[in-house]
Amino acid sequence: MTLEGTLEADVSTADGESRPESVAFAFTVTNAGSEPVELQFSDMCKAEFVVRDGDREVWRFTEGRMFAQMLSREAFAPGESSTYEAEWERPRAGEYTAIAELRAQEASCEAQTSLTVPE
């Protein structure tokens, strides 16, 4: 079964009105197809989050972190969604692009959004 075209994604951010101490990310993956989809993961990190300033990477969720190496599966019925979250602590002020990518073994799915961290 091919997954191309069946998964849709959206990433959003939440931060405070003033300079935030952290930025929270929510990456939602939805099965937009008419058949169930089962994803397999090789560790407990199911999504990667990256913040870029133009061509320069300024933060990566998995950098310096370790995740349990455990095979797992996640099933999505048609129309079903799952949300993966991450938090960028102590962000610097600026204009960025946030990118989220699913880390499933046999499926590729990503989304991006603009992000402003105030002074």
Q: What is the CATH number of the domain that holds 75?
A: 2.60.40.2360
Task: In whole angstroms, give the CA distance from residue 55 to residue 103.
Answer: 22
Sequence-distant (6+) residues with CB within 8 A of 49 are 11, 25, 27, 60, 61, 86, 88, 98, 99, 100
Specify the pTM.
0.86
What's the pLDDT at 68? 86
Task: In whole angstroms, give the CA distance from residue 6 to residue 21.
Answer: 36
Tens of pLDDT along the chain (119 residues) come to 345 458 899 999 875 444 578 999 999 999 999 999 999 999 889 999 999 999 999 999 999 888 888 889 999 999 999 999 999 999 999 999 999 999 999 888 999 999 999 88
- Residue 58 domain-assigned (yes or no): yes
End-to-end CA distance of the chain: 48
- Residue 82 domain-assigned (yes or no): yes
Task: In whole angstroms, give the CA distance from residue 98 to residue 58.
Answer: 10
- Residue 2 domain-assigned (yes or no): no
What's the pLDDT at 17? 47
Domain count within the chain:
1
DSSP-assigned beta bridge partners for residue 7: 31
What's the pLDDT at 89? 92
Rounded to whole angstroms, the maximal C-alpha distance in the chain is 48
Task: In whole angstroms, give the CA distance from residue 15 to residue 89.
Answer: 11
Residue 72 lies in domain: 7-117
